[in-house]
């Protein structure tokens, strides 16, 4: 069995030692350095040149995500596994932008930790269960959005005329006079526009029209 030289970096002593103990007990990892300060991780990495570097997102002096980017800038082949307290979209986005290979929650089960550490050490990508679900949901959301027809294309010529006059500040009665239709018909067009564009009121409708002026013409 090839021993994986590993750096473990976290500001909490109990968590850091517990993490190191889990890896040591597995037998495949040699913890060559434990670091409690973000500013010291770069020095430790340069000195040890580990096969694997496990970093917490939150670190004293320098954030783990910043450290990861600095390491990868110097060593594009660095195998970095990030551990996060939060499972939100911002954390996921920062990880995806960092170039690190793996991301798991600090609350992950030890078996997930071992699996992530081994795969990242071998240059494979790894996303913890919660983050993987988030990626799946985001993919589904984007797929639905892509399939959804452009609401602007569903707006009729008459609705565009009503919308244009609303933008100019005309009332329903004034629009009715200009278009030779009844105020009730104007209100019906306005209601249809709100529904098609998923907007709540006339102010939002006017704002939408102004922001999409060139598309609506």
Pair (196, 133) in one structural domain: no
Pair (69, 128) in one structural domain: yes
Q: How many CB atoms lie within 10 A of CB 87?
A: 18
Pair (21, 126) in one structural domain: yes
CATH number for the domain that contains residue 170: 1.10.10.10
Q: What is the pLDDT along the chain (217 residues), one digit of tens a residue?
A: 689 999 999 999 999 999 999 999 999 999 999 999 888 999 999 999 999 999 999 888 899 999 999 999 999 999 999 999 988 888 998 998 889 999 999 999 999 999 999 999 999 999 999 888 888 887 777 666 666 667 788 889 899 889 888 888 888 888 999 899 998 999 999 999 998 888 888 888 888 888 887 777 6
Looking at 98, 117, 142, the residue that finishes a domain is 142
Q: What is the pLDDT of residue 217?
A: 60
Pair (38, 112) in one structural domain: yes
Pair (57, 160) in one structural domain: no
Q: What is the pLDDT of residue 145?
A: 64
Residue 6's DSSP bridge partners are 31, 52
Q: What is the pLDDT of residue 154?
A: 85
**Angstrom distance (rounded) from CA 69 to CA 126:** 17
Q: Find out whether 52 and 117 touch, Cβ atoms under 8 Å.
A: yes
Q: What is the pLDDT of residue 215?
A: 73
Q: Which residue has the tokens 């933008």?
A: 167
Our CA angle for 22, 26, 28, nearest 5°, is: 120
Closest alpha carbon to 33 in 14, 49, 15: 49
Which structural domain, as residue segments, surrounds residue 164? 151-216
Looking at 99, 119, 142, the residue that finishes a domain is 142
Query: What tokens does 156 get?
Result: 């009729």
């Amino acid at each position: 069995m090839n021993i994986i030289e590993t750096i473990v970096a976290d500001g909490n002593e109990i968590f850091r030692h517990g993490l190191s103990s889990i890896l040591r007990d597995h037998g495949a990892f040699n913890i060559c350095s434990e670091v409690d300060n973000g500013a010291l991780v770069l020095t430790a990495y340069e000195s040890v040149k580990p096969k694997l570097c496990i970093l917490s997102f939150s670190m004293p002096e320098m954030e783990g995500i910043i450290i990861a980017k600095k390491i990868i800038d110097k060593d594009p082949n660095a195998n970095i596994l990030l551990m996060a307290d939060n499972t939100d979209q911002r954390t996921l986005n920062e990880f995806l932008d960092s170039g690190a290979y793996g991301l798991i929650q600090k609350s992950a089960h030890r078996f997930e930790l071992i699996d992530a550490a081994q795969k990242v050490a071998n240059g494979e990508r790894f996303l913890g269960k919660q983050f993987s679900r988030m990626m799946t949901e985001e993919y589904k959301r984007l797929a639905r959005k892509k399939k959804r027809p452009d609401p602007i294309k569903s707006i009729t010529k008459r609705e565009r005329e009503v919308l244009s006059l609303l933008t100019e500040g005309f009332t329903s009665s004034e629009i009715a006079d200009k278009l030779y239709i009844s105020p009730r018909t104007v209100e019906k067009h306005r209601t249809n526009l709100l529904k098609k564009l998923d907007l709540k009121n006339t102010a939002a409708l006017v704002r939408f029209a102004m922001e999409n002026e060139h598309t609506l013409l």
